[in-house]
Structures are given as C-alpha cells and as structure tokens.
Amino acid sequence: SAVISQKPSRDICQRGTSLTIQCQVDSQVTMMFWYRQQPGQSLTLIATANQGSEATYESGFVIDKFPISRPNLTFSTLTVSNMSPEDSSIYLCSARTSGYIQETQYFGPGTRLLVL
C-alpha cells in the first residue's frame, strides 16, 4: 500500500494569486496523478506527473494554469496559478503502485481550496 500526504489540507486564497500544493508518498510509486473534484461532482484527471519531465495534461488543462513538478519517485507539486473563484475545488494527489500480480491506486486526503 501507499500512504499519501498533502499540504496544505485547505486554504482560502484571493483571486489572482497562486497556490502550490505538495504531495508526498511514503514509498516509491510508478505513477502519480493530480485530480480535481469540484463541489458535489466526481473526480476529473488534471494531469499525470512524470518524473524528471513535463507532465501530461488532459484536455481542458494547460501547463500555464496548472504547472506540475515531480523531481523524484515520491514527491510532486501542483500549482494553481492566477486563481479565480471557479478554481475553488478539492485537489487530490494520487499514486499508483504496481506489484507482480496486481496494481492499486491510492489517493491523498485532498486540498480544499476556496478562492474569493
């Protein structure tokens, strides 16, 4: 299994500012992802965080708005840039572990962001 922690757990930010969310996994994992969960909605994949290279973004998400870093196998950051109230959401880090006969995907506790 993998235990994922995120910082901060929540924040209230002013529009136009940026927030960087940190994600730490307690073991080396094969893949790391960032998801967004808007109020009352399901999860939407923002991007796959690639170690040592640029993240792979899903349709509708761009690097200038959501820059992502993954310097090693256990750590990643997501920045929400130039925030607007529409960015108010829960941002979740996720990690996939692969074993010999199985793989599983875990989620962090989320970062609850409110943009005023």
Q: Which residues bind another protein (CB under 8 A)?
A: 31, 33, 41-43, 45, 48, 58, 92, 94, 102-110, 112
State the minimum distance, in angstroms, from the CB of residue 57 to another protein. Answer: 12
**What whole-number distance in Å separates Cα of residue 14 and Cα of residue 39?**
19
Compare residues 58 and 82 and give the one whose CB is closer to another protein.
58
Is residue 15 within 8 Å of 32, Cβ to Cβ?
A: no
What are the distances in angstroms from CA 75 to CA 70, 80, 86? 6, 17, 27
Compare residues 72 and 104 and give the one whose CB is closer to another protein.
104
State the minimum distance, in angstroms, from the CB of residue 42 to another protein. Answer: 5
State the minimum distance, in angstroms, from the CB of residue 115 to another protein. Answer: 19
**What whole-number distance in Å separates Cα of residue 106 and Cα of residue 40?**
21
